[in-house]
Structure 1
Amino acid sequence: MKRLIKLLPKPLRQLVGAGFGGDGEDARSRRGAGLAFGIRVVSAAIAFLSQVLLARWLGSYEFGIYTYVWVWVNIVGTLCTLGFAISAVRFLPDYAGNNQNELARGFLLFGNAVSIGTGLVCTAAGLMLLFLFDGVIAEYYWLPMALGLVILPAFAGIDFQDGIGRAFGWIDLALVPPYIIRPILLFAFIGLAVGLGWGHSAETAVLAAIAANWLTLAGQYLVQRRRLNRLIPPGPRAFRLPLWAKVSAPVLLLEGFTLAMINLDIVLLDIFVDPDQIAIYFAAARTISLIGFVHFSVNAACMARFSASYAKGDAGAIRTLFAASRNWTLIPSLAGAGVMLALGDPILWLFGAEFTAGYPLMFVLILGLLARAAVGPAQGLLVVTGHQNLTAGVMAVTVGCNAALNLLLIPQFGLMGAAMATTTAFALESLSLHLAARRMLAAPQHLAPSAGSQAAAE
């Protein structure tokens, strides 16, 4: 990133250098967050363009079917890593930093095998369920769902390799494949389908997603393997499956709850509304959620630092970084919220004239996103410092509230009810995580490495 700063004009270089210059740990974290944010901004533009073209090409009804299937692929595919994509951030820096290459190799092999293997099992199980319960699921979902199941192993493999990149601070390798390469490939394959005259259907879009995910997995693996071989040369492997499972299992629950918080509104809307209404809600929710990239980027840049400081027992560094990261998250999010609300109506119009009906939803949904931004990377901090059980408990309660509110409010208020329920749940989640993080930071014993972490370092 320093090389990029040097290419800017002098006045702009001085301004940017004030924020991203320097050689200290804070400066490196800011540059990491800036790089992650830049990648997400570019990926958001690519993903947004592809979704706009998809909506225009498919129409709101078929686009609603595609987005509903993709939400389920995202949920199940992420869970197929069984928590190893996140626990990689805790174990790999520890093993690499203490020259425990055998354990690092073992974790890398096992994590990849678990992620892709579980994806294959879920694909087979899902196809079996679709055939056994044919007629239960709506006919227009059946074939897109069946095709979507083929994506699961690739999606899980990409997600685990994303975790490896974050663990070693390789923000480019962690984020570019899933958030830039995959959307570009999806866009390219959809263009190819259009050129070949394929039908304007959700099935065609899912076929393009299959090709995009499997090619992304292959390319990401090859590039990452070369970089890993320089850091951790090939050699014998060691395994600590009980320890890895003990840490990853609560993380799996946490990931499930997090995915439910993000996607529960769309999943439950299917009970009450038609696919075209789901498409309108999806467009509004995903458009306003672009400001969430700030929170995501800061979290991606800080998790490895939190993990390294925790392994060393450096409570002061953890407190300092967490305090700074909250400012890095909230201030840009507030600015982004203003821009997104000002431009929301014309942005939604790009999807199609009928999508502007979702504009009022954005004013409600933004409140929940700002609540999350206000607490910074509290969830990531709690997880990497060994408080994943507490975090999972908090998320379980808020997911339950989210589901209850959606089921109560959607029948009464339709799409606006889903927005109100989701925002209320986000606010409750943010308040709970903030209080948990404050309690942990106030007690020195909570910032000392646990026995599990120490065992990992032995």
Structure 2
Amino acid sequence: MLSKVKTLLSDNEHRHTAINAAIALSIRVLGAGMAFLFNLIIARQLGAEQSGYFFLALALVMLLSAVARLGFDNTLLRFTSADSGNGYTVKAILNFALKYALPVSFIFTVITYTLAPWLAESAFNKPRLTGTLQLIAPAIIGLSIVFLVAMSFQARHKLILSIPCQNIAHFMLCGAGVIIFSADSASTAALYFSLSLGISSCFFYWLSINNLNNNGEKPDPKKLWHSARPNWVIIIMSQAVQWSAPIIIGVFLIAEQVAFFSVAQRIAMLTSFILMAVNLVVAPKFSAFHAKGDEHGIRKTALFSVRLLVLSALPIVLFMLLFPEFLMGLFGEEFRQGALILQILVLGQAVNVVTGSVGYLLMMSGHERDMRLVTLISGFGVLISVPIFTKLFGAIGAAIATAFFISLQNLLAVYFVKKRLGFNTLIFWQKV
């Protein structure tokens, strides 16, 4: 066993992937810990009902921010990775994405703030949600900035900046505000969240453009839009799979059920934080290999990364499946009711992990349209099935539908990777 590990790590590309994945994983552990702590603070400080309002509003702005980014997330990652040494080009790509994403984000912010009373009373049947929606609406702008800036950092292999930008800084600031000022309502927490994003987005944007060289040239707008259009559909449908269930539960069920599902979902997503860490390393590699026409490098890196994922994630999955009540109980005794929801969602995330970085494999190798088809199937599947299953079986039904379509999305992506690139990531033990 030890000799096999030594043989694998003797390969420069494998060693680079493993070392950088370890660095990314260490930072991701910090990020996952911060996200977990943030959710714990919100749940315990606000209680089930008020935290339900907050998580419902958060799901809505996360979804709207994904739409507002116009698909530039992965486009920015792909094109910046291929030209990461040219500072002028890096800055131009980022500013091009922000030039179009920020006005749309501002429009969504105004619409959300204006329609908050109608959404709270008519759509969600929760009049006390109005203030929370109004105060969290500016977060749409902040989220758009930090996600795009984080992608620019990731493409340039600046993982120490990318992960805090996307997952740590605003959670840390907001959590600190909730504790220090003893927030006891969802609307107050929403205000702190928006302010935290305002601070962190400005700071990380400044860092992203600071000290860049003047090498390179302006990117071709047609190429960026050509990539962004299918990526937009991919992002919208992927985010719909992730965030539509809490919103739909908010329409049909009481706020406490939103809180139980949201907490379970966030715990379950800890199983895939290892996948996210590996993605930070391999996604730019896939893009660089594709730009050089190195199909062997893509295959070798993809299969090696799946092995890392399976070995790392299996203990976490087993722990969550065996001790769901303990984990949910950390957020308060009433949250133990969501133990079965957690187990169901963990199974969906487990499939997400063992299939590997199939989404990025397709998108970074120029097969965005295949990934668009995959996410359309899974996205519409969630949007159709979750309301039906929620009506029939409550939050557990929503969890079943969500887990099924997360699994289906990744298995379909595996199929297209096999079809386009010639290898199956599920057969991770094959010779690389």
Q: Same fold (TM over 0.5)?
A: yes
What is the alpha-carbon distance in structure 2 between the residues aligned to residue 179 and residue 18 of structure 1? 33
> Aligned runs of 1:90-105 on 2, under 5 Å?
90-96=78-84, 103-105=89-91
* 1:150 and 2:134 are equivalent in the alignment: no
* 1:217 and 2:232 are equivalent in the alignment: no
Distance 1:170 1:134, change over 3 A: closer
SS at match of 1:266: helix
Q: Equivalent residue for 2:429?
A: none
Structure 2 unmatched runs, 5+: 424-432
Distance 1:330 1:106, change over 3 A: same
- Check the 8 A contact 2:90/2:152 in 1, yes or no: no
- Check the 8 A contact 2:94/2:149 in 1, yes or no: no
Q: What amino acid maps onto 2:58 in structure 1?
A: W
* 1:439 and 2:425 are equivalent in the alignment: no
Q: CA RMSD in A?
A: 2.4
Q: Equivalent residue for 2:129?
A: 141
Q: What is the CA distance between 1:116 and its match in structure 2? A: 2.7
Distance 1:307 1:80, change over 3 A: same
Q: What is the CA distance between 1:21 and its match in structure 2? A: 7.0
Of residues 192, 195, 198, the one that matches 1:208 is 192
Percent same amino acid among aligned pairs? 21
Distance 1:72 1:132, change over 3 A: closer
CA shift digits 1:39-90 (9 cap, x unpaired): 2211222222222222122110000000011111111123322122211121
Distance 1:269 1:134, change over 3 A: closer
What is the alpha-carbon distance in structure 1 between the residues aligned to residue 285 and residue 264 of structure 2? 34
Q: What amino acid maps onto 1:52 in structure 2?
A: L
What is the alpha-carbon distance in structure 2 between the residues aligned to residue 158 and residue 207 of structure 1? 18
- Check the 8 A contact 1:43/1:183 in 2, yes or no: no
* 1:114 and 2:87 are equivalent in the alignment: no
Of residues 104, 127, 132, the one that matches 2:113 is 127
Of residues 332, 352, 375, the one that matches 2:312 is 332
What is the alpha-carbon distance in structure 2 between the residues aligned to residue 410 and residue 268 of structure 1? 8
Q: What amino acid maps onto 1:220 in structure 2?
A: F
> Aligned runs of 1:8-407 on 2, under 5 Å?
24-96=12-84, 103-130=89-116, 135-137=121-123, 138-194=126-182, 200-226=184-210, 229-230=211-212, 232-233=213-214, 238-407=218-387
What is the alpha-carbon distance in structure 1 between the residues aligned to residue 413 and residue 216 of structure 2? 40
Give the greater-gyration-radius structure (CA). 1
TM-score, scaled to structure 1: 0.86
Q: What amino acid maps onto 1:282 in structure 2?
A: S
CA shift digits 1:423-444 (9 cap, x unpaired): 211221122111100111129x
Structure 1 unmatched runs, 5+: 1-13, 444-458
Q: What amino acid maps onto 2:69 in structure 1?
A: T
- Check the 8 A contact 1:189/1:211 in 2, yes or no: no
Distance 1:442 1:20, change over 3 A: closer
Q: What is the CA distance between 1:246 and its match in structure 2? A: 1.0
- Check the 8 A contact 1:116/1:154 in 2, yes or no: no
Q: What is the CA distance between 1:223 and its match in structure 2? A: 2.2
CA shift digits 1:13-33 (9 cap, x unpaired): x99x96997782221212222
Distance 1:153 1:357, change over 3 A: same
What is the alpha-carbon distance in structure 1 between the residues aligned to residue 209 and residue 278 of structure 2? 26
